[in-house]
């Protein structure tokens, strides 16, 4: 009798087990790639991080792709735009795959590339099985070498980065890659004590400055010659509450004179974090002395603020320019923005680069890094560590929430 | 009868033949457009990789997958 009960119980358990397995298979419980499979994303970065290059000196950068899951690819493409008045390309070498003839460009096309200020990179993998890119591992795609025509940080802008993935059923999928921005302006200015300087002062740019000033009807000194102005700046980033030695941040700045931007390129300089938790930097610029200047300041990974006085401060409400403007003359000018908060979170956008907004794309990027447990990866830290504590974690995600709670979500203009 | 409107039938009955799409030369994946994916399907085929059922990288139908097919696809992409 007992034996019969045991047999029946075992049978029932077996049937339940089989039904559970069948149900699990239909629901994909045993699908190994379920966690890593989601939307594949591939970040592209440059190695090494560009620094200021002296006039006529050479540079060489390697573009490195880093996928968030294993990807078997048949090819890739991207576009690099650069200012051919400031940079000339000397070689383009493919490190993964071979050039797709008639579609991509390599060193043999450097004359065309330099003439247009644009490089079309396109490669294909010349094997039947494709090329496997491993999850969270850098792979060298292309090495770009060139020469700086004027002193500055080479400005190379990546666009339209795509990879072509081979799926298990032999179909192909186009994967749009995220692009880590690795560009800044070039310049002919000198280095400063607290960071490299990148401002524009070539002869042609000076003439455009003169043109701007002559158009400024309310300028008090529109007919004056431009003079060298040294601007020392300090500012505070939201959430940076620790001092870590040797932290630096690319900072972009636009100058408006009588409401008109005086140069199409941002001035870029490197600000360094001091023990007072403020970021210090300086730059030089040739400007016509006048009383109608406004600055747009944008630290890396943060939203831009509009500054119309040399010591603008937030109070219970955000600082507002009103009718104020900044008077600049020759000499050194201190721009003390320690009373302003620069809000964190502008790290990506639809094109994979900062887009002047703090939105769900920025938040999702941080959450993905946290989920993938890659918060200490140097690439991810450079891209998304908002509070500069060396790790991308929930504190960074919280900063974005904090910004949204204040009702702020885009650059001031 | 699910899905058929029996209350207001179409009358007189309409012929519902769908037009046969005209194949586009160079459209390897047969999705009626020529894009970079077609190029990479060609590359897969050219390097002896497998193509999914229904795809054909021999776009000029000469029995071979070669540079002539590649040229056709690239010209269409660059148009």
Please give the model's pTM, rounded to 2 decimal places: 0.47
Q: Are B23 and B38 within 8 A, CB to CB?
A: no
| pLDDT tens-digit readout, A291-305 | 888 999 999 999 999
Burial class (CB within 10 angstroms; exposed 0-12, middle 13-18, buried 19+) of A16: exposed
Q: Residue A338 phi/psi, 5° resolution?
A: -70, -20
- Provide the chain B residues 1-30 that lie in CB contact (below 8 A) with chain A: 29
Which residues of chain A lie closer than 8 angstroms to B50, CB-CB? 170
Highest mean pLDDT among A129-133, A157-161, A169-173, A397-401: A397-401
pLDDT at A400: 92
Q: Confidence class of residue A56 from pLDDT cuts 50, 70 and 90?
A: very high
* Interfacial residues of A (vs B; Cβ cutoff 8 Å): 74-75, 77, 100, 102-103, 124-130, 162, 164, 166, 169-172, 174
Cα nearest neighbour of A123 on chain B = B40
- If you average pLDDT over every residue of chain A, what do you get? 79
Which residues of chain B lie closer than 8 angstroms to A104, CB-CB? none
Give which of A355, A317, A343 is closest to A401, Cα–Cα. A343
| pLDDT tens-digit readout, B4-57 | 444 554 555 555 555 666 778 889 998 888 999 999 999 999 987 678 888 999
pLDDT at A35: 40
Rounded to whole angstroms, the Cα distance separating A321 from A296 reads 11
Q: Taking the CB of residue A75, how many other CB atoms lie within 10 A of it?
A: 28
- Give the mean pLDDT of A315-320: 84
| pLDDT tens-digit readout, A70-106 | 889 999 999 998 888 889 999 999 999 999 999 999 9
pLDDT at A24: 59
Q: Is A268 helix (H, G, I), strand (E, B) or coil?
A: strand
């Amino acid at each position: 009798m007992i034996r019969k009960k045991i047999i029946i119980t075992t049978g029932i358990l077996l049937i339940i087990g089989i039904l559970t397995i069948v149900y699990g298979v239909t629901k994909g419980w045993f699908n190994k790639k379920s966690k890593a499979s989601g939307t594949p994303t591939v970040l592209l970065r440059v190695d090494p991080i560009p620094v200021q290059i002296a006039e006529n000196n050479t540079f060489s950068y390697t573009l490195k792709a880093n996928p968030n899951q294993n990807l078997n690819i048949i090819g890739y493409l991207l576009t690099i735009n650069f200012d051919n008045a400031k940079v000339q390309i000397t070689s383009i070498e493919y490190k993964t795959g071979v050039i797709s003839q008639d579609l991509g460009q390599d060193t043999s096309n450097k004359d065309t590339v330099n003439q247009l200020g644009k490089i079309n990179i396109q490669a294909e993998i010349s094997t039947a099985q494709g090329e496997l890119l491993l999850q969270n591992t850098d792979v060298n795609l292309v090495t770009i070498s060139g020469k700086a025509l004027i002193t500055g940080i080479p400005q190379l802008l990546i666009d339209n980065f795509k990879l072509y993935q081979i799926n298990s059923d032999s179909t192909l999928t186009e994967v749009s890659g995220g692009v880590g921005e690795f560009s800044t302006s070039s310049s002919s200015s000198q280095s400063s004590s607290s960071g490299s300087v990148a401002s524009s002062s070539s002869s042609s740019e000076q003439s455009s400055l003169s043109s701007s000033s002559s158009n400024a009807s309310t300028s008090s000194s529109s007919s004056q010659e431009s003079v060298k102005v040294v601007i020392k700046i300090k500012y505070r980033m939201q959430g940076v509450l620790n001092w870590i030695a040797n932290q630096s941040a690319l900072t972009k700045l636009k100058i408006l004179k009588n409401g008109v931007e005086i140069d199409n390129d941002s001035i870029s300089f490197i600000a360094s974090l001091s023990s007072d938790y403020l970021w210090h930097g300086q730059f030089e610029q040739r400007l016509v002395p006048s009383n109608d200047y406004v600055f747009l300041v944008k630290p890396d990974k943060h939203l831009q603020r509009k500054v119309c006085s040399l010591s603008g401060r937030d109070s219970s409400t955000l600082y507002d320019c009103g009718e104020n403007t900044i008077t600049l003359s020759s000499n050194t000018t201190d721009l003390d923005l320690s009373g302003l908060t620069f809000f964190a979170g502008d790290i990506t956008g639809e094109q994979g680069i900062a887009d002047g907004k703090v939105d769900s794309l920025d938040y999702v990027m941080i959450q993905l890094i946290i989920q993938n447990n890659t918060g200490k990866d140097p690439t991810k830290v450079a891209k998304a560590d908002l509070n500069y504590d060396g790790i991308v974690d929930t504190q960074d995600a919280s900063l974005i929430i904090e910004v949204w709670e204040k009702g702020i979500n885009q650059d001031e203009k | 009868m699910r899905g058929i409107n029996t209350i207001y039938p179409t009358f007189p009955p309409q012929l519902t033949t769908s037009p046969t799409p005209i194949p586009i030369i160079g459209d390897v994946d047969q999705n009626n457009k020529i894009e970079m994916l077609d190029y990479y399907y060609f590359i897969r085929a050219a390097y002896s990789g497998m193509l999914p059922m229904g795809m054909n990288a021999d776009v000029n139908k000469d029995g071979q997958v070669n540079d002539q097919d590649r040229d056709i696809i690239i010209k269409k992409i660059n148009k």
